[in-house]
Amino acid sequence: MTIKQTGTSVPVKTGLMTGLGNLSDASSFFHYIIRCFFIEISTYNVFSP
């Protein structure tokens, strides 16, 4: 098994760090974290042959 990484992961992490600086709207921030989490899952093929 190998971990494959796609090029979309880096912009997601960059966007996540940007989101961390915008805590004024907790609700939007929460949904942003959840969305980024699922994007991370979809861009990583953790269990690949």
Q: Do residues 15 and 36 make contact, with C-beta atoms less than 8 angstroms apart? A: yes
Residue 47's pLDDT band (cuts 50, 70, 90): low
Look at residue 30 in the predicted model and tell me its pLDDT.
Answer: 80
pLDDT, tens only, 8-23: 555 666 666 666 665 5
What are the pLDDT digits (tens) for 25-35?
A: 667 778 888 88
- Give me the phi and psi of 8, to 5 degrees please: -80, -10
> Which DSSP state fits 7?
T
Instruction: For residue 36, give the amino acid letter.
Output: C
Q: Kindly report the pTM of this predicted structure.
A: 0.31
Q: DSSP per residue over 12-40, as a string?
A: HHHHHHHHHT-TTSHHHHHHHHHHHHHHH
Closest CA to 32 of 43, 46, 18, 45: 18
41-49 mean pLDDT: 59
